[in-house]
């Protein structure tokens, strides 16, 4: 395998058109009686546990009150998204399927996930979008609340799955948020930023990713993913 390419989920591969955020809100209200200031909350690049701790901290709840009930929140959340997301309302972003097909057809590229979603949540979203079969391994928000610690988790799973190491720039992190670039840096991986969602291209450019694309439909997408300049 030449490379391990790790994709973020929301805003990079797909959009739930706000349904996942609504599901988090409903699960929080049901569990804690409040969703905090969820209407103005910036979700981009954050892990699911981080989102819940930050929302509940703003609503005045201590971390020690929230932590023991995270499983309950996530059970409710997963129930809601499993009921809400369908192939008709889960939008695969432009170029995604073509890029994933092109990588799969090469046979020398290890493809995985690096996402703030808890694993079950990521699987529900990707299954609704018809994308789940592309990803053999992943690192998730359920592995660590801190996204910056997820590259080593993904590398370990990749080694277990493919029997190979993917040190340094042989690992590529693809994402739409500044947090994706930061977590690539934290893991000494290559960072490919995609301005396909809410984060403006200039904000991504400010962190100097190794490549910056308008979307995965860009003619330069495959070249950027497979470049050897890391």
Binding site residues, Mg ion, CB under 5 A: 8, 10-11, 176-177
* SS3 at position 12: coil
Q: Which is nearer to Mg ion, 8 or 48 (CB)?
A: 8
Toward Mg ion, which CB reaches closer, 61 or 192? 192
Which residue has the closest beta carbon to Mg ion? Answer: 11
How near is the Cβ of 72 to Mg ion at its closest, in Å?
Answer: 25
Q: How far is the CB of 50 from Mg ion (least distance, A)?
A: 13
CA atoms within 13 A on the CB side of 17: 11
DSSP H helical ranges for the chain: 19-32, 48-58, 63-66, 70-84, 96-106, 119-129, 150-162, 178-186, 201-205, 221-226
Toward Mg ion, which CB reaches closer, 42 or 104? 42
Query: 29 or 198, CB closer to Mg ion?
Result: 198
Q: Which is nearer to Mg ion, 61 or 212 (CB)?
A: 212
Alpha-carbon gap, residue 225 to 174, rounded angstroms: 8
In the complex, minimum distance from the CB of residue 74 to Mg ion, in angstroms, rounded to a whole number: 19
Instruction: Give min distance, CB of 176 to Mg ion, in A.
Output: 4
User: Burial of 80 by CB count in 10 Å (0-12 exposed, 13-18 middle, 19+ buried)?
Assistant: buried
- CB of 60 vs Mg ion, minimal distance in Å: 28
Greatest CA separation for the chain: 51
User: How far apart, in whole angstroms, are the C-alpha atoms of residue 139 and residue 99?
Assistant: 20
- Residue 95 and residue 125 in contact, taking contact as beta carbons nearer than 8 Å: no
């Amino acid at each position: 395998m030449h490379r391990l390419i790790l994709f973020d989920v929301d805003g990079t591969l797909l959009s739930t058109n706000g349904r996942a955020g609504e599901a988090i809100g409903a699960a929080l209200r049901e569990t804690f009686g409040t969703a905090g200031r969820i209407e103005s909350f910036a979700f981009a690049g954050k892990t699911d546990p981080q989102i819940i701790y930050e929302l509940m901290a703003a609503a005045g709840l201590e971390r020690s009150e929230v932590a023991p009930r995270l499983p309950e929140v996530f059970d409710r959340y997963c129930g809601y998204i499993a009921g809400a997301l369908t192939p008709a309302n889960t939008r695969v972003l432009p170029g995604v399927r073509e890029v994933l097909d092109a990588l799969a057809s090469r046979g020398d590229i290890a493809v995985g996930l690096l996402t703030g979603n808890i694993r079950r949540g990521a699987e529900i979203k990707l299954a609704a979008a018809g994308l789940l079969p592309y990803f053999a391994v992943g690192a998730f928000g359920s592995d660590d609340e801190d996204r910056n610690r997820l590259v080593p988790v993904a590398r370990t799973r990749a080694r277990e799955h493919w029997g190979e190491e993917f040190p340094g720039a042989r690992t590529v992190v693809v994402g739409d948020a500044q947090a994706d670039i930061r977590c690539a840096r934290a893991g000494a991986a290559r960072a490919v930023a995609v301005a396909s969602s809410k984060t403006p291209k200039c904000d991504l450019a400010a962190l100097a990713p190794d490549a910056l694309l308008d979307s995965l439909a860009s003619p330069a997408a495959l070249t950027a993913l497979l470049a050897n300049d890391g």
